[in-house]
Structures are given as C-alpha cells and as structure tokens.
Amino acid sequence: MKVLVLYDYPPSPGGLATQGDLLYKGLLELGVDAHAVHFESAQEKEWYYRWFQPDVVVGVGYWGHTPQLILHPQRYGIQPVPWLVADGYIANYQEVLNALPLILVTSHWVKEMYVRDGIDGSKIEVLPVGCNTNTFKPYDKNDPKILAVRESLGISPDQLMILTVGGDAASKGAQEVMQALAIIDAKAPDWKYVCKVWPQPRTKSQNLEDLQMASDLGIEKNVTYATNTISRNFMPYLIAACDIYAAPSRLEGFGMPQVEAGACEKPVIGIKAMGMLDTLIDGKTAFLANVAQKIVVNEVILGGESGFADNHKVKFTVPRTVDYRANVQDIATGLLTLMNDEPLRHKMGKAGRIRIVENFDYRIVAKKFIEIMNTKLGIK
C-alpha cells in the first residue's frame, strides 16, 4: 500500500496538522510506504503523484477543503479519501463527496452531520484522531518539568489547576466553566483556572470578552489567559501539570485535548454531545454536563472559502444546530466533586489513560486506517 497524506505539513501545533501527522507517523511505523505533503502545495502534490503513484491520497481537513483534498488528486487519476471534520453545516460539494467510494470522519457525530446535510452515510467510515501516548502520559507532580510549568503560570503547589486549551477559550466552553467556578468558589479548595489560547488576531477580542466576564464574576484573580506561541513538545507537560481538564466545548467534532488529557491521567469536564460521546465515558473518565442550549440558525452567509461567491446566503428549510452550550450547574457539580476528592481524580484519570491507550493510540488508528482501505477499497 502506498499512501500520500495531505495536511498542514510540516505540522503546525494545530489540531488538523497533528491529526494528519500522527496518521503519517503511525503508517510509517507499521511499514506502510507513505509520504506527507502540504495540502495546498499543488506543485509538490503533483510531483508525488507522478513518481510515487500512490494507491490512495488521504487528506485531512473539512468539506471546504474539497478542491485541495479531492478535486486536485482526481485531476491526475489518483484516488482521494478525505478524512474530514465538521464545522456545524456542510454547505457545498455534496455532489463531489457523494461520488467518492469512501469518506473518513473523526466521530459518529460528524458522520451524523454529513448525513443530515445530504451525504450518503454508506460511504462514511469513522476513523478517530490518534494520540501519541508515548508523550502524553502521566508525570509525577514533583517532576521538575511539571513544577516549572506551574511556576511559570504562578500556581503554587497547594493550588488546584484547572486547564482549558484551544484556539480560543470560549469555543471550548471557558465562559461556562468560569460561571461554574463562580458558583462554587466559596466551597472549593484554592484554585486557578488557566486558559491556553493561540495568539492570533481573530481571538483578541474574544479573550478580552472572556476576561471581562471573569471580572464581572469576581474571579479575575484566579483566571489566567496564556497566549504565548508554544510547540507540541510543550503540550504534554502543560496538560500533565493540571489537576482537572475542563472543556465542555460548544462545537467539537472529536476533542483531541480531552483525549490527550485522559492519556495524561487527568479527569475531564466535558459536554454530553458531539465527539465527546465517542471519547469520554460519563462518570468513569469524565463528568459530562447536559446540553443546556442549542444555537440554531435559519440561514448562513458563505464565501470563497466554501466554494461560493462572496456573501452567498443559504437559507435552511429545516433550521440547523450550529453550536451547543453546556449546563453550568452540571459543570459546577462535576468540578466541585473532583476538586474535593483527590482519590476520585486519580481513579478517573487512570481509567481515562486505559481507554485512550486501548482505543485512540496513533498506532491503533493507523491499523484501523489500513483495515478500512483493505475492506472498503481493496487496497493492500
């Protein structure tokens, strides 16, 4: 089997790049003849098509990347297999997608979204995102690298560190977490809430809004927003430094940081919806808050990024749910339970580690990919 993997290569710290890179590494470790190339690099992709002649081109992205992941390899007679996430609504390229023999998606919820929006479910197979359980693993709380992370964030050894990681924090449910922390503050042990967000123009206003909420709630002294650029090398230590990973996300097709937290033996606060239903087990590896609200829209405005002219309006005959909000009281209950029960934190963390190693290790995901190629496309 010869596989060309299209993603943001060489990998940036983002989720899609990590998703592709771990599949690529897993395939190499299993002895598959594989190469990686940036999904937007038309010339380099064509170069690989000509001399490598891959059996399949697997491209990581969302439906809006159809021109780069699907149409480009098809022009050269190469079989594309997109590995897709969802962003709330699949607005275009249904005809192209339905003509494919196989589409991979990251969770059963993502599959539901594609089927809801007109994609043939018989073509879709769920392939979860891999996790490097060699690097994301538990560390002793007195490990110098862990101590250094906490010290750099101003967290004392006796404080509980609650962590959320994302491009921005609000999309990962940070505002709901802050509301929950304000509810339980008087009953909880000493705590700090750290939101690690990526420094980018689109999130600056969101960060300011989040910090204003923390101030309005009276917990601003306990909330830290870390906006430095960091590498994937640092991430295992950041996650391992926390006591509780909290991300009841508003939109989550898989939830890679939640999985990485489980691999580090950290209990998770999540939401009982979307990709987290695949990765987390309520009451065993995580506390999943109920859905308090679904954000529903009747129309959307799309542009060139989706294959339309600018300001193209799409009206829905049936309103679409594009966002979720977790129940704040459920988050508060889960947080307070974990904050006051260290043995329970360890128990849930260990259960999370076992689940991740058995189901989401990147080598297991690569093996599943090979099996799908064998059974669905007859590629060996």
* pLDDT of 133 over the 90 cut: yes
Residue 301 CB partners (closer than 8 Å, separation 6+)? 311, 312, 313, 314
Which residue bears the tokens 């309103």?
319
Could you give the domains of the chain?
Answer: 2-130+361-377 (3.40.50.2000), 144-290+327-359 (3.40.50.2000)
Q: Using one digit for the tens of pLDDT, what is the confidence trace for 197-254?
A: 988 887 788 899 999 999 999 999 999 999 888 889 999 999 999 999 999 999 999 9
Least confident of 38-42, 86-90, 258-262, 301-305: 301-305
Q: What is the pLDDT of residues 136-145, one digit of tens each?
A: 999 999 999 9
Exposure on the CB side of residue 258, measured as CA atoms within 13 A: 29
Average pLDDT value for residue range 329-339: 98
What's the pLDDT at 123? Answer: 97
CB-based contact 55:79 (threshold 8 Å): yes
Average pLDDT of 30-48?
Answer: 98
